[in-house]
Structure 1
Amino acid sequence: MRRRDFVTLLGGAIAIFPGATHAQQSAKKWTIGYLGFGPASSWTSEVEALRNGLRDLGYVEGKNILIEFRWAERADQTFYLATEFVRMKVDVIFAPASTQVEPARRASTTIPIVFAQHADPVGLGDAVSLSRPGGNVTGMSMLLTEISVKELEIFSETLPNVARIGVLWNPTTPSHPTAVKAVGAAGQKLGIQLVLAPAGTISEIQEAFATMSRQQVNGVLVLSSPLYTAQAGILAELQMQYRLPEIFANRANVDVGGLMSYGADLDDLYRGAAAYIDKIFKGNSPADLPVEQASKYKMVINLKTAKTLGITIPPTVLARADEVIE
């Protein structure tokens, strides 16, 4: 082969090769391991919000992305499911809340982990700082401690004559001890006696309501937990059984009969989490992706439930509601 022909052939190969490499990269099918806390039916809206966020960024399930769903029935199952994702060598573990983030971190310190509604990533040690997480974990934060205090204030305004409020909290939710302390301090300032009722299983939830009823609480503040969202139907039934109005952080609890909710817009947070996954797929390290705090909050009131419980929502509270269920 003459030298001129060889150079021409080599130049053509160089011109073709980069395009072939790019085609290989763009044809890659990324895998996300979704570490959920079931049942899946309790998280339909949030899952769809994540999917919509990914679709808006050009990811089509079955074409260039695959989402592997695993749903834990108990908190102690999450670590096993996380290790399953490690064995599968997923590209990202999506662990929505602190309940799932901590077992995912124990399972892997190298696979990127993205959260959508973490209560306190810095306080719980899942991030060094909000501006620079520093590890393999990042995402969206819902500010649980601050929200819980605000919920107590709203609840006391909704039920102005109450003297005692129960606080349902989950010992298996890492962020709850801090939130319980903050709520306790807020209760003292408001002159409200709080009755703490820990519950980490369905049977414990039922026992907690029986205990709170015996202690004559006037209502129940339910701290945000994947378990309490997953068991929204049971909590609504217990509310009616014991005639104890409830306030939540998640509007899904109000959709099935809870009295009211105030909290971060979870759909917005899950859509935001999709952007983190996209950035990681494009080569960014989670250590360098700042944690974003919730910017949208909603208050939802179920007037049908209020009527059933014989509660009149004060006009000042009703006027601040973003949505009212008739």
Structure 2
Amino acid sequence: MKYPCFFPKTLVLPALLSATLLGCGSNQELDEYGDPTATDVPYVAVTQIVEHPALDAVRDGLKDKLKEEGYEADSSLKWEWESAQGQAANAAQIAQKFVGDAPDLIVAIATPSAQAVVGSTDTIPVVFSAVTDPVGAELVPSLEASGGTVTGVSDLSPIDEHLALVADIVPDAKTVGVIYNAGESNSVSLLALLKTEAEAQGFTLQEATVSSSADVATAAKSLVGKVDVIYVPTDNTVVSALEAVIQVGNENKLPVFAGDTDSVERGAIATASFDYYEVGRQTGAMVVRILGGEKPGDIPVELANTVDLAINLKAAAAMGVTIPDAIQSSADQVFE
């Protein structure tokens, strides 16, 4: 039975009066009948810097893990998701909006979104995901439990394995072209690692920087004739426009390698990388712990814990490369 918010005093029983006052005099939201709606389900807000397969897989893994643990969107969980469409200004606006909405927890996927959220609140728990260098990005002081309101999952790429893979597949390669956005702190950290590993493995680097996805095709073309292979790190700006790099690779028989598995499926030759869906599930497990009462500051930052070898035979053929049988037989994922 639906009760209105006004009753003659002589007809109201004490219990009914109490219930009515709770529905009409509190700050609870009311449904179309004037009854209080359920407000005790957790509220998780998710912000993502841009939509591309790897980050979308993180989001999907997160959502599926939460559902598996009893937190289902639109029933036992209030779920809100926003994409910044690759724009730092949008990421800042989304972060401010979410902080104003006061969710129980904010999940920030990728470094720029995480920086925007952490810079906007020091009270709401924040779990980041797919962040290359959380210390360098100033999200946490160390990978140990920080005692603060922030923790998460890092996807620091195994750069040494990536360059070793280039050497195994293109043994004559001497110069590696790398395309990245210098405005992404995660990419700056990766470039520093890449320089160290390139020197150790005997490669020379040729850099091409971009500031937006619209610059990616031009940057890729600028490397033609100057490099033996192109390497695309887990740079959100570049990965969101990966097809432009693949086209340059195909047209010029210039091998393209990548830092993530989804990019291999999209047309890069190979990588040793994480399953980003599993990264999302790993992040979801951390969110569940916090929703269950643990403090984010008591949880150390975790590293993505699964690395798979992925190859794309069709892409290799299009770029004039033959992947050795030994690598084919040891690959965890083969795209044809």
Is TM (by shorter chain) over 0.5? yes
**Aligned mate of 2:185, from 169, 174, 190:** 174
**Aligned mate of 1:244, from 251, 254, 271:** 254
Q: How do 1:52-131 and structure 2 match up within 5 A?
A: 52-76=64-88, 77-131=90-144
TM-score, structure 1 as length reference = 0.85
- Give me the whole-angstrom Cα distance separating, in 2, the residues matched to 1:52 and 1:154: 32
More helix by share: 1
Q: Is the 8 A contact 2:213 2:240 kept in 1?
A: no
Match of 2:5 in 1: none
User: 2:103 aligns to what SS in structure 1?
Assistant: coil
Structure 1 residues 41 and 158: alpha-carbon distance in aligned structure 2, compared to 1, 3 A threshold: closer
Query: 1:251-309 CA deviation, whole Å, 9 max, x = no partner?
Result: 11122212112212211111011112112212221111111112210111000111122
Offset of 1:184 from its aligned partner? Answer: 1.3
Offset of 1:244 from its aligned partner? Answer: 2.2
Stretch deviating more after TM superposition (42-51 or 109-118): 42-51
Q: Is the 8 A contact 1:27 1:64 kept in 2?
A: no
Match of 1:13 in 2: none
Offset of 1:44 from its aligned partner? Answer: 4.0
Stretch deviating more after TM superposition (255-264 or 265-274): 255-264
Query: 1:71-127 CA deviation, whole Å, 9 max, x = no partner?
Result: 112332211111111122122111122221111111111111112222122333322
Query: 1:224-244 CA deviation, whole Å, 9 max, x = no partner?
Result: 122233323333333323432
Stretch deviating more after TM superposition (38-47 or 267-276): 38-47
- The one-letter amino acid of 1:227's match is T
Q: Is the 8 A contact 2:249 2:319 kept in 1?
A: no
TM-score, structure 2 as length reference = 0.83
Q: Is the 8 A contact 2:180 2:238 kept in 1?
A: no
- The one-letter amino acid of 1:136's match is T
Match of 2:159 in 1: 148
Structure 1 residues 190 and 75: alpha-carbon distance in aligned structure 2, compared to 1, 3 A threshold: same
Q: Is the 8 A contact 2:109 2:128 kept in 1?
A: yes
Match of 2:51 in 1: 39
User: 1:198 aligns to what SS in structure 2?
Assistant: strand
Q: Is the 8 A contact 2:136 2:185 kept in 1?
A: no
Structure 1 residues 126 and 208: alpha-carbon distance in aligned structure 2, compared to 1, 3 A threshold: same
Offset of 1:37 from its aligned partner? Answer: 2.5
- Give me the whole-angstrom Cα distance separating, in 2, the residues matched to 1:227 and 1:320: 31
- Give me the whole-angstrom Cα distance separating, in 2, the residues matched to 1:58 and 1:43: 23
Q: Is the 8 A contact 2:55 2:109 kept in 1?
A: no
**Backbone CA RMSD of aligned residues:** 2.1
- Give me the whole-angstrom Cα distance separating, in 2, the residues matched to 1:66 and 1:199: 37
Q: How do 1:18-33 and structure 2 match up within 5 A?
A: 28-33=40-45
Match of 2:62 in 1: 50
Count residues with an aligned counterpart.
Answer: 299
Offset of 1:35 from its aligned partner? Answer: 0.8
Structure 1 residues 94 and 170: alpha-carbon distance in aligned structure 2, compared to 1, 3 A threshold: same
- Give me the whole-angstrom Cα distance separating, in 1, the residues matched to 2:308 and 2:210: 26
- Give me the whole-angstrom Cα distance separating, in 2, the residues matched to 1:301 and 1:318: 7
Q: Is the 8 A contact 2:220 2:245 kept in 1?
A: no
Offset of 1:57 from its aligned partner? Answer: 0.8
Structure 1 residues 237 and 90: alpha-carbon distance in aligned structure 2, compared to 1, 3 A threshold: farther
Query: 1:22-66 CA deviation, whole Å, 9 max, x = no partner?
Result: xx9x97222222111233666443322111100111111111212
- Give me the whole-angstrom Cα distance separating, in 2, the residues matched to 1:259 and 1:278: 36
- Give me the whole-angstrom Cα distance separating, in 1, the residues matched to 2:130 and 2:53: 18
User: 2:147 aligns to what SS in structure 1?
Assistant: coil
Query: 1:108-158 CA deviation, whole Å, 9 max, x = no partner?
Result: 1111111222212233332223231232211111223xx123212211221
Is it true that 1:190 corresponds to 2:201 in the alignment? yes
Q: Is the 8 A contact 1:135 1:287 kept in 2?
A: yes
Q: How do 1:279-290 and structure 2 match up within 5 A?
A: 279-290=289-300
- Give me the whole-angstrom Cα distance separating, in 2, the residues matched to 1:27 and 1:105: 26
Match of 1:203 in 2: 214
- Give me the whole-angstrom Cα distance separating, in 2, the residues matched to 1:230 and 1:89: 30
Q: Is the 8 A contact 1:127 1:133 kept in 2?
A: yes
- Give me the whole-angstrom Cα distance separating, in 2, the residues matched to 1:225 and 1:176: 6
- The one-letter amino acid of 1:63's match is S
- Give me the whole-angstrom Cα distance separating, in 1, the residues matched to 2:143 and 2:326: 35
Query: 1:155-183 CA deviation, whole Å, 9 max, x = no partner?
Result: 12211001211011221221222321221
- Give me the whole-angstrom Cα distance separating, in 2, the residues matched to 1:37 and 1:315: 38
Q: Where in structure 2 are there 5+ consecutive unaligned residues?
A: 1-35
